[in-house]
Amino acid sequence: MEKKSVAYGLAPVSSTMLAVCSCTILPLFAGLFTRGSGIGPAITFLYAGPCTDGPGGAVA
């Protein structure tokens, strides 16, 4: 149970460190999921990435 809470907390934090657009986040999501990440943390990473990219990050 502790690993799940760490994974859900780490997913949005790690996506803020990557300045990627919504086009680049999809392969990263697929890589996380195929490497064994749960679907929940992978989707959290998928949604948090473009939202935290900064001003104009999602509109490129």
The reply to whether 57 falls in a domain is: no
How confident is the chain (60 residues) per 10-residue block, as mean pLDDT? 72 70 80 87 80 56
Structural domains in the chain (count)? 1
Nearest one of 53, 51, 32, 52 to 42, comparing CA atoms: 32
List, in sequence order, the alpha helices (H) in 1-60.
2-17, 22-34, 39-51
The tally of CA atoms less than 13 A away on the side-chain side of residue 27 is 4
* Dihedral over alpha carbons 38, 11, 43, 56 (to 10 degrees): -160
Amino acid at 40: G
pLDDT at 57: 52
pLDDT at 60: 46
pLDDT at 24: 80
The reply to whether 58 falls in a domain is: no
Residue range(s) defining the domain that contains residue 41: 2-51
End-to-end Cα spacing for the chain: 38
The reply to whether 9 falls in a domain is: yes
